[in-house]
Amino acid sequence: MDFIKKHIEWIPVIAIVVILGGSLPFKFGGSAETAHIFDVVGQFLGLEFFRTTGGYIIGAVELVACILLLLPKARAFGALLTAGTMAGAIIFHLFSPLGVTVKWMENGEMQEDGSLFYMACVAFICSLIIMWRRKDQLLALIGQKNT
């Protein structure tokens, strides 16, 4: 039982790494879906640079989050970075023209994918679980103790 209690935290870590890590080839590979997503978000924000480089920027942030999550001493920071990034993704899916189901043209055909929003929600919840388990470490960052 001690083994399970000690290592249970790996479940949300692995979930996040699979979700974020699985998206990296699309973000760094210039997929049509990624190009569409960051074009829409960049246009919505009025940030021209984000339309073309947003996928690389967010991909780099997600890669750093994955690395931090895999390092037990840095795991709380990886969870914090994941929570912030996924909160942004969730907000843009809900409150921008992007929508929960992303629709884009690829090879002259309309494509759609609703899984991205839900995967962001799963990664966000998993990051909150890790942050709760590591709250003492995060509170120490701001000079507070858990009482």
Question: pLDDT at residue 121 above 80?
Answer: yes
> How many whole angstroms separate alpha carbon 40 and alpha carbon 45?
9
Residue 39: inside a domain: yes
Tens of pLDDT, residues 43-92: 999 999 999 999 999 999 999 999 999 999 999 999 999 999 999 999 99
Tens of pLDDT, residues 14-39: 999 999 999 999 999 989 999 999 99
What is the per-residue pLDDT for 147? 60
What is the per-residue pLDDT for 30? 87
Residue 32: strand pairing partners = none
Domain range for 38: 2-141
Question: pLDDT at residue 5 above 80?
Answer: no
What is the per-residue pLDDT for 3? 74
Residue 146: inside a domain: no
Q: How many domains, in total, are found in the chain?
A: 1
Residue 135: inside a domain: yes
Burial class (CB in 10 A: 0-12, 13-18, 19+), 17: buried
Higher per-residue pLDDT: 16 or 140: 16
Residue 147: inside a domain: no
Would you state the structure tokens that stand for residue 123, as one six-digit string? 């990664």
What is the per-residue pLDDT for 33? 95
